[in-house]
Homo-oligomer: A and B are copies of this chain.
Amino acid sequence: MPSDLRQERDHARTERRRQAVLDAAGRVFVRQGYHRTLISDIAAEAGVGQGTFYRHFPDKRAAFEAVFDRFVESLFAEFAGMSANLPHDAREYRDSSVEALVRMAQALERNQDLAKMLMREAPAVDRVLEEKVASFQDGFILLAKTFLDHATAEGFARPCDTTLVAQAIVGMGTSVAHMWWSGRAPDVTLDHLINEVVDFAFFGISTR
């Protein structure tokens, strides 16, 4: 039936339009923050009428959440296959940590403004989004904990409260990343920064 084809094409067009509005929303949120963003700003940025915004999202809050969700998904996709190959010794462990962080840093580099905006604005939007940010972090903490548990079990990391240490590691990473992007980290290469941080995580500050 030709109407099927048509329906499909229309559906695709609608989806494309929705993405365009979503992209526009993301850009405006980055530029102005959640509360200073008007629906009319998003519509103008997307080059559509205000009514069109409402065809795709019930309100500003929903558009923000959609931007957030898309970001989180794209970021986790980056790490999908990671837990597959677990390290076999301390050296491998350290290397794959560095590699993971480099990949993460690169993924974030591409969306750094978006990432910063989301982490800054989402918790202040409402309780639900605050919770979502927390869950997002928890995802990484769980990932870190899995690796840590493995390393501890295999004997190439010291026994410790892995949940707590995983939290500490992720918090550390998040903070340093934040500073790096806001230009308040020392002026070093990203590689140096990551290695320094990984060294700290592996050896602390102790003189061996």
The residues of A with any CB-CB pair to B shorter than 8 Å are 33-35, 90, 120-121, 123-124, 126, 130, 134, 137-138, 148, 151, 155-158, 160-161, 163-165, 167-176, 178-179, 182, 184-186, 188, 192-193, 196-197, 199-208
Instruction: State the majority secondary structure of interface residues on A.
Output: helix
How many copies of the polypeptide does the oligomer hold?
4
Chain B contacts for A175, CB-based, 8 A? 137, 167-168, 170-172, 174-175
* Contact residue among B134, B156, B174 (Cβ-Cβ distance under 8 Å from A171): B174
CA distance A163 to B185 in the complex (A): 8
26 interchain pairs, CB-CB under 8 A: A33-B126, A35-B124, A120-B124, A134-B182, A138-B184, A155-B207, A158-B203, A158-B205, A158-B207, A160-B199, A160-B200, A160-B205, A164-B176, A164-B186, A164-B188, A164-B196, A164-B200, A171-B173, A171-B174, A171-B176, A171-B178, A174-B175, A202-B205, A203-B204, A204-B204, A208-B208
Cβ–Cβ contact B161 & A188, under 8 A: yes
Specify the chain B residue showing the minimal Cβ separation from A152. B205
